[in-house]
Amino acid sequence: MPAAGPGAGLTGLMPHALDQILHRLSHVSAEAFTDIVRQAIEAGRNRSNPPASKFAIEHLKEVTTLEESSEACTVCQDVVEKGAVTLHMPCGHCFHKDCLMPWLAEHNTCPVCRCEVESNSPTYNYSYFDKLKGDLDSETVSAFLACPCVRFNVMSSSLKNTTSLN
C-alpha cells in the first residue's frame, strides 16, 4: 500500500528524514517560511569572498593601452581600445579599470578564474594565506609568519614593505 502524507510521492535515500522535514514545514506559516529562506540566502551571501584590500588594489599592474586589443574586457565585453586604462590581476587576466574596481570592492577574486588577492579581512587572509596571489601587505605576511604552527622556509631575502607571492 502506498504511503500517505507529506513527501509520500517522493522517493530517495532517506524517505523518513524527508517526511519529517516536510511534516515540520507544514506547520510553519508562509511568513515564517519566507523568513527562513531569506536568512538562508543572506547566510549564503555572507560566505562569499570578502572585498579586496586597498593595498592589493593599489598594487595591481595598471596599464594604459597603446593600441586597440583584439581581446575584450570579460566584464563589459567591449574591446579594449587604444588609450584605455586596464588593470591586470596576478593570474594575467586584464580588465578595464572602471569594470574591475566595482568587482574588487565586493570580491577579492578575479572575475574569470577566481584567483585571490589579499582581502580587507585579516582573518580571511590568515585562513587562506596559501591561496593569495600578488603583492601582500607586510602586516599580512607578518601575521601569518608569527603563528607558531607555521613551518615555513623563508628565502634569504628580507621582508620589506611588500612580499610578492605568485
- Per residue in 42-78, pLDDT (tens digit) is 665 556 789 999 999 999 999 999 988 888 898 999 9
Listed in order, strand segments (DSSP E) in 24-129 are 61-64, 85-88, 94-96
All 3 cell numbers of residue 116? 585571490
CATH of domain 54-165: 3.30.40.10
Contacts of residue 148, defined as CB under 8 A and 6 or more positions apart, other chains included, come to none
Most confident of 2-11, 32-41, 44-53, 152-161: 44-53
Number of residues that make up the chain: 166
- The C-alpha angle 132, 138, 140, rounded to 5 degrees, equals 45
Side chain identity, residue 45:
R
Mean pLDDT of 107-111: 94
pTM reported for the whole predicted model: 0.60
- 75 vs 82: CA distance, rounded Å: 18
Quick check: helix, strand or coil at residue 145? helix
Q: What is the CA radius of gyration of the chain?
A: 24
Q: Would you kindly state where each structural domain of the chain is located, as residue ranges?
A: 15-46, 54-165
- CB–CB of 104/84 below 8 Å? no
How much of the chain is helix, strand and coil, in % rounded to 5? 35, 15, 50
Most confident of 33-37, 38-42, 72-76, 144-148: 72-76
What is the torsional sign of CA 42, 43, 49, 52? positive
